[in-house]
Chains A and B, each alone.
Chain A
Amino acid sequence: MYALNYVKVKSLAEAAKMLASNPEAKLMAGGMTLVPTLKQRLAQPSHLVDIGALPELRGITAKAGTLTIGAATKHHDVATSAVAKKAIPSLAYLAGLIGDPQVRNLGTIGGSVANNDPAADYPAAVLGLGATVVTNKREIAADDYFQGMFTTALEEGEIITRIVFPVPRRAAYAKFAHPASGYAMAGVFVAQTSDGTRVAVTGAGPGVFRWKAAETALGKNPKAAAIEGVALDAGEMNEDIHATREYRANLVRVMAKRAIAQLR
Chain B
Amino acid sequence: MSPFQYTDFPELANVDTHTAHHGNRLEDLRLVTGTGKYTADWNLPGQLYACFVRSDRAHAEIVSVDVSGARQHPGVARVYTGEDALRAGYDKFFVIVNWPGRGGEHMKKPARPSLAVGKVRHVGDAVAMVIADSPVAAQDAAELVTVEYRDLPAVVTVEEAMAEGAPQLHDDAPGNLSFDFEGGSEDAVKAALANAAHVTRARLEITRVAPSPLELRASNVEYDAQADVYHVYTCIQGINMLRKQLSFATDVPEEKIIVHAQDVGGSFGQRSAAYPEHCMQMLAARELGKPVKWVSTRAEGFMTDTHGRANTVTGELALDRDGKFLGLRIDWLADMGAYLSATGSASHTRNPNACMTGVYRIPALYGRFRLIFTNTVPVAAYRGAGRPDIAYVIERLVSQAAAELKLDPAELRRRNFLPPEAFPYKTPTGSTYENADMPAILEKALGLADWKGFPKRRAQSEKQGKLRGIGIATVIENTGAGLFPKDQVAIECGADGTVTAYTVAHSSGQGHETTFAMVIAGALGIPIEKVRVREGIHDKGLIGNHTGGSRSLVGAGSVCKLAAQKLIEQGRSRAAEELDVEPSQVEYSHGAFHTRGSKKHVRLADLAKNGPFATMTEASVGSTFPNGCHIAEVEIDPETGTTRIAAYNTVDDAGNVINHSVVEGQVHGAVMQGAGQIFCEKVVYDQDTGQLMTGSFMDYCMPRAGMLPDIHIVDHPLPSGNNALGAKGVGEAGCTASLPALANAMMDALRPLGIQHLDMPFTPATVWGAIRAARKN
Contacts and interface: CB of A to CB of B under 8 A. Distances in A.
A180 B698 contact: yes
Contacts of B693: 241
A181 interface: yes
Contacts of B769: 244, 246-247
Contacts of B640: 176, 250-251, 254
Nearest to B703: A179
A234 to B, nearest CB: 12
A250 B637 CA distance: 13
B697 A242 contact: no
Interface string A222-264: 0000000000000000000111101100110010000000000
- Interface size range on A against B: 10 to 19
B639 interface: yes
A13 interface: no
Interface in B135-150: 136, 139, 143
Given A243-B765, A247-B768, A250-B768, A180 B699 contact: yes
Nearest to B140: A2
A179 B680 contact: yes
B75 interface: no
A3 B763 contact: no
A241 B701 contact: no
Interface in A33-91: 40-41
B289 to A, nearest CB: 29
A179 B763 contact: yes
Contact of A244 (B139, B702, B765): B765
Interface string B675-700: 00001100010000000011001111
B622 interface: no
Contacts of B765: 242-244, 247
A241 B699 contact: yes
A254 B639 contact: yes
B583 interface: no
B708 to A, nearest CB: 15
Contacts of A41: 139, 143
- Interface size range on B against A: 20 to 34
B299 interface: yes
Interface string B361-377: 00000000000000000
Contact of A242 (B699, B768, B772): B699
B694 A241 contact: yes
Contacts of B641: 247
A21 B693 CA distance: 39
By secondary structure, the B interface counts as loop
Contacts of B684: 241
Contacts of A181: 697-699
Contacts of A254: 639-640
B701 A40 contact: no
Contact of A179 (B136, B143, B639, B764): B764
Residue picked from B139, B640, B680, B693, most chain A C-beta under 10 Å: B640
Contacts of A242: 699, 763, 765
A244 B763 CA distance: 12
Contacts of B701: 179-180
A250 B765 CA distance: 10
A91 B315 CA distance: 52
A188 to B, nearest CB: 13
A55 B772 CA distance: 52
Nearest to B686: A241
Contacts of B143: 41
A110 B701 CA distance: 28
B136 A180 contact: no
Nearest to A180: B701
A246 B776 CA distance: 14
A180 B698 CA distance: 6
Interface in B23-73: none
B124 to A, nearest CB: 15
Contacts of B299: 40
Residue picked from A3, A176, A179, most chain B C-beta under 10 Å: A179
A41 B299 CA distance: 12
Contact of A180 (B697, B768, B772): B697
A242 B702 CA distance: 14
Contacts of B700: 180
Interface of A: 3, 40-41, 176, 179-181, 241-244, 246-247, 250-251, 254
5 contacts: A41-B139, A179-B680, A179-B763, A180-B697, A181-B698
Nearest first, the 3 A-B pairs at minimum CB distance are A180-B701, A243-B765, A181-B698
Given A180-B697, A181-B698, 17 more contacts: A179-B680, A179-B763, A179-B764, A180-B698, A180-B700, A180-B701, A180-B702, A241-B684, A241-B694, A242-B763, A242-B765, A244-B769, A246-B772, A247-B765, A250-B639, A250-B768, A254-B640
